[in-house]
Amino acid sequence: MDRSNGYEAVSEEFLAGRGSRSRSAGIGVKEVRKWARTLPRGSSVIDLGCGSGFPITAVLVDEGLHVFGVDAAPSFVAAFQRNLPGTPIICEAIQESRFFDRTFDAVLAWGLMFLLKSEDQHPLIQRFAEIVVLGGSLLFTSTDQPFGTMQ
Amino acid sequence: MTGSESLSRGAGQYGKLLGAVGISVAEECEDEGENRYFDAFKGKIELRESLP
């Protein structure tokens, strides 16, 4: 059963596009870099739905943060390990992940939330609160107006 | 690309859900891809204001 919201099936196309090093200046890079620079160097950050590590996770690494990744697509995890060797990553569905069984100074979920079903979004927000330390940061994307098939 | 439909609650509802679990939204902005993003933190606004 695919737990990657369809990304594993299109991984080759994705990895050649946004997930490639050549797209390191893609959408979100500027915003994530700005956020990353508000965090003390060495802060622990978990990137949920990190994909290949490009372009977003690489920004966190560049900014001197202690980065962890989670992605459900095996092809993306393999690419991440090639792109950012030494950066911990687990291949788990976000909905079921144990998030390394630890807390973090910051949580990033860029381009993730609106891929999840309605019933998975609320529990994930609860998990945000559980895995980030008091005073810790959270950055995530949604869209401005409700749409899709949600009730 | 995946053929999956995007599912968004909209900015206001996310703010309420975050507040219910003790997360405060410091800033809401939009990136060049017209994605709304939330810069938030765990705790009350006063907590962040007290940090160096």
* Chain A CB within 8 Å of residue B23 CB: yes
The beta strands (E) that lie in A75-151 are given as 89-91, 104-109, 132-142
Rounded to two decimals, the ipTM of the complex is: 0.78
Contact A9, A74 (CB under 8 A): no
User: A149 pLDDT band (50/70/90 cuts)?
Assistant: very low
* Cβ-Cβ contacts under 8 Å for A44 (sequence gap 6 or more): A65, A66, A68, A102, A104, A105, A106
Cα A134 from Cα A66, distance rounded (Å)? 18
- List the one residue out of A125, A44, A117 whose CA is nearest residue A87: A44
Q: What pLDDT digit, counting tens, does each position of B5-45 carry?
A: 545 556 678 888 999 999 999 998 887 777 889 999 999 76
Residue A39 has pLDDT above 90, yes or no: yes
**Residue A10 gets which letter from DSSP?**
T
Could you tell me the two tokens for A148? 């899709």
Q: Which pLDDT does position B12 carry in this prediction?
A: 75
* Chain B CB within 8 Å of residue A5 CB: yes
Cα A19 from Cα A26, distance rounded (Å)? 9
Inter-chain contact A144–B11, Cβ cutoff 8 Å?
yes
Place of tokens 């997930």: A19
* Cβ-Cβ contacts under 8 Å for A4 (sequence gap 6 or more): A71, A72, A73, A76, A93
Closest-CA residue of A relative to B23 is A129
Work out whether the CA dihedral A50, A51, A54, A56 comes out positive or negative.
negative
Contact A71, A50 (CB under 8 A): yes
Q: Longest C-alpha distance within chain B, in Å? A: 45
In chain A, which among 110-129 make CB contacts under 8 A with chain B?
110-111, 113-118, 121-122, 125-126, 128-129
Q: Which residues of chain B have a CB within 8 Å of the CB of A125?
A: 14, 17-18, 21, 23
Inter-chain contact B51–A136, Cβ cutoff 8 Å?
no
Inter-chain contact A149–B5, Cβ cutoff 8 Å?
yes
Inter-chain contact B23–A125, Cβ cutoff 8 Å?
yes
Residue A54 has pLDDT above 90, yes or no: yes
* Chain B CB within 8 Å of residue A136 CB: yes
Q: Which pLDDT does position A150 carry in this prediction?
A: 36
Residue A85 has pLDDT above 50, yes or no: yes
Residue A21 has pLDDT above 60, yes or no: yes
Place of tokens 């900014």: A63
